A and B are shown apart, each in its own frame.
Chain A
Amino acid sequence: MLRSRPITGKLKELQKEIEGYAIDYGLDFFEQIFEMCDYETINILASQEGFPSRYPHWRFGMNYDQMSKGYRYGIQKIYEMVINTDPCYAYLLDVNNWVDQKLVMAHVYGHNDFFKNNLWFGNTNRKMMDVMANHGSKIRRYITKYGLQNVERFIDCVLSLENLLDMSELFETSDIKRKRKETERQFAYENSLEYESEDSGSESLKSFLRSKYRHEKSKKKVAKESSEDQLLKIPKKIPERPVRDILYFLMQYAPLEEWQVDVIGILRDEAYYFLPQRITKIMNEGWASYWHSTIMTQKALNASEVIDFADKHAGVMVMSKQNINPYKVGIELLRDIEYRWDTGRFGKEYNECEDMPEKLHWDKKVGMGKEKIFEVRRTHNDISFIDEFLTPEFCNRQQLFTYKYNPRTERFEIDSRDFNAIKQKLLLSLTNFGSPVIEVIDGNFENKAELLLTHRHYGVDLDMSFATETMRNLYYIWKRPVNLQTIVEDKEVVFKFNGKELKPLT
């Protein structure tokens, strides 16, 4: 079993010291708990995305396979891990030396503050440790009842759709959410009634909608009466508006058994729990790095540790030509913002100044830097962070560039150092957390209870072989053909997956 234990003795004192600095700097965090573990344990935790208990699934075993190999063969090692819970748990590796532990602790206080204060995390469940454990026991129960093969197969299908999330879900308070879902359910229910009364509806759609809401009928009867007038406005289409939260759509409308609906619900909850971290990678790592750097260099380091710290820090900050390093770009952009708001290099007056020497030595001594970065960490995500604060000077200083494939030389080559090109490419890669935007637009396509999805095309085509396999999994859940509107090489196409193969509709 897991072999992690609370830190004691000198490390406990170190934590107190670092925590003191963090408070002095104005960081605001959940209670912080550090646990010490050996590399085997930290590999297991990392394989399970930070949580000691997850549902059984081979993919955690795959992660473990890779992590433990990576460690054993000296390819990579994990220094630290922290999860978004209250109290906030972080794991230290027992073989790390003293400077490493210091650095990691300082870094973790940065993450903790970010988890607590960044608005995108506002609705995440801070008791996720228990929730995950519950998910585990629920799914284990389903496995006992319905068989490992069955449940695992179904989980695989749902994981296939795990990235089809709606970011706006993060901002709904639970109250609004509950209300909205009630009305939606009502709509669906009324719709099913309408289909029943019409002969035109397909049999299969009718039957699954009927079975789905039969048991709700009795419950909702009373409620129905009072909302009679609402009925008049009910559109026939399912969904009424395009839906990005595809897992939720499936829970509502797919012909599923109860345990299957529950499994989707479980995986969906977990996906939304992790979503804020996916959309704040640059900021979150930048913020934590900013604070480990500040706390270490200004307070915590001994003279004898400076070189080792610099070595480690430089390792984390290393720039890559294939990709931007979120630690590096994050910390530098935060420092840039601090500098600009300290010197007053923002706003109309500064932007419209055309006197270069004056602009170069601009310093209004406004000293709003710290205040500004705390505000930024509260309200932004990676997209708005880059969109609002990336400047041409910054791109230049940080040697950012875009690159693309050159078919003539058959290699990737640096394309441009133009500010707008860089910003555009960076934003595109962050849009919708790097996943294509896919929406359900019709649950009764061509009146045959087929599913129609649309891919909102922002310039990049889908990988069609992956799309085919994804649609195969979706078919397994929906049990009727799945259609997808997309653009391939500048041409609009609708593909149909009929249970066997993908064919363009003509």
Chain B
Amino acid sequence: MDHPIKRDHSRFRKIIKGKIRQNLRRFVSQGQQIIPKGKESFNIPMPSIEIPRFKFGDKSQGGTGQGDGEAGDPVQGQPGEGQPGEGEAGSDEGNKELEVEVSLDELATILGEELELPRIEPKGKKQIETQVNRYTSIGTVGPDSLRHIKRTYKEALKRQIALGSYDPNNPSIVPSRKDFRYRSSKSKVEFENSAVVIYMMDVSGSMGDEQKEIVRTESFWINLWLKSQYKDIEIRYIIHDATAKEVDEETFFKTRESGGTLISSAYKLCKSIIEADYSPEEWNIYPFHFSDGDNWSSDDTKLCMELLNNSILPSSNVFCYGQVESRYGSGQFYKDLQAAYGNNSDEVILSKIKNREAILDSIKDFLGKGK
């Protein structure tokens, strides 16, 4: 029998998802656990419900801390954060923040687990086995570039204390050959297969910075997941207003045009890119289109459907359309696609992204079918 906490846990998950106890949904915070990775950091969704209590408001009062620095030096983060060894009210636990370095692979796994994403069954012929190396253990030999500084330091410290050559007043540690420790790898067999993601975005005037930021975040997670599923992945970017052009990643997120919107222009370009570079037999193709739902005319929308039906859909794994809510967009295009393909199509996945909080839900919409 499962431990009763599993019941509490599934109840919690249901509340978070808004299936039961809707009145509690107000207190759900889509909290995120930040994982540092190199210079950047990534967030793991860590939803929680804060039971309302009388508590102090004004955080600007600050608090007390420990460390060096002059008056006026910044204190990172929020009061109460990052307290080491913080325990629950009830018991005394020795918690320890671990030094973490999460690889992109692991991050993708986390995302997959969180959103319960199914693994993708790749199509195509390029399913050749290859060996890849994963650095998961520590060894005593290796190249300098893989030296593990902290482990090496610890070994050297141990040796110097044992030999009596450690001086606490002048704690300099000199590692010798024998102290060196290296990251070492294990080989793993993986399949060779490739995918291409083609991002299309409406950059007409009605798409503001906030909308683009949503698309940027969403595309980061989509890329991350697809990269974890395919050995090779290529990403292409198309922007459009009344005309479409292919651009690099930076331009994709920066460009803002003022013209009207002809979605068909982007679909045409997408079609020609697929025809020129990506044979559907060898590639898993993922066209993603983001817009605020405005199109110039219903004639153009008709043209879009034709392009989808005759060219894009037959060659793609799945076509994804994400509609970002904006103040100016009518949202009509979503309705048109919905009328044409319905909500449960295997070929066309639709998702509405209201705001930043909805990004994870929308990723789940897109990738949750395992296509």
Q: State the A residues within 8 Å of B (CB).
A: 1-2, 44-51, 53, 56-66, 69-70, 73-83, 104, 107, 111, 149, 152-153, 156, 159-164, 274, 277-278, 281, 284-285, 288, 303-304, 306-307, 311-312, 315-316, 318-329, 398-407, 409, 411-417, 422, 425-426, 429, 435-436, 438, 455, 459-464, 466-467, 469-470, 472-473
Q: Nearest chain B CB to A189's CB is how many angstroms away?
A: 30
Pairwise interchain contact B91-A469, C-beta atoms closer than 8 A? no
Closest 3 CB pairs of A and B: A49-B90, A50-B91, A61-B8
Chain A residues positioned under 8 Å from B73 (CB to CB): 413-414
Pairwise interchain contact A323-B33, C-beta atoms closer than 8 A? no
**Given contacts A74-B100, A307-B154, is CB(A323)–CB(B71) below 8 Å?**
no
Chain B residues positioned under 8 Å from A83 (CB to CB): 90-91
Interface residues on B, range: 35 or more
A160 to B26, CA, bound (A): 14
A319 to B44, CA, bound (A): 25
A162 to B10, CA, bound (A): 24
A464 to B64, CA, bound (A): 24
Pairwise interchain contact A414-B92, C-beta atoms closer than 8 A? no
Chain A residues positioned under 8 Å from B58 (CB to CB): 460-461
Contact count A vs B, C-beta below 8 Å? 300
Closest residue of chain B to A469 (Cβ to Cβ) is: B52
Is B60 located at the chain interface by the 8 A CB criterion? yes
Chain A residues positioned under 8 Å from B187 (CB to CB): none
Pairwise interchain contact A61-B12, C-beta atoms closer than 8 A? yes
Closest residue of chain A to B10 (Cβ to Cβ) is: A61
Pairwise interchain contact A58-B12, C-beta atoms closer than 8 A? yes
A39 to B173, CA, bound (A): 36
**Given contacts A58-B11, A403-B75, is CB(A160)–CB(B92) below 8 Å?**
no
Binary A-proximity of B25-60 (CB < 8 A = 1, otherwise 0): 011000001010000000010111101111111111
Is B18 located at the chain interface by the 8 A CB criterion? no
Chain B residues positioned under 8 Å from A53 (CB to CB): 4
Pairwise interchain contact A66-B48, C-beta atoms closer than 8 A? yes
Chain A residues positioned under 8 Å from B82 (CB to CB): 320, 322-323
Our pick among B59, B63, B75 for the contact of A413 (Cβ within 8 Å) is B75
**8 residue pairs A–B, Cβ–Cβ below 8 Å:** A61-B10, A83-B90, A303-B162, A405-B60, A414-B69, A414-B75, A422-B64, A464-B57
Chain A residues positioned under 8 Å from B303 (CB to CB): none
A45 to B157, CA, bound (A): 37
Chain B residues positioned under 8 Å from A324 (CB to CB): 64-66
Pairwise interchain contact B92-A82, C-beta atoms closer than 8 A? yes
Chain A residues positioned under 8 Å from B47 (CB to CB): 65
A152 to B15, CA, bound (A): 12
Chain B residues positioned under 8 Å from A162 (CB to CB): 53
Q: Given known contacts A316-B84, A323-B63, A414-B65, what 11 new A-B pairs fall within 8 Å (CB)?
A: A48-B5, A59-B49, A81-B91, A107-B94, A156-B51, A306-B158, A320-B82, A321-B65, A322-B77, A399-B68, A402-B64
Closest residue of chain B to A409 (Cβ to Cβ) is: B74
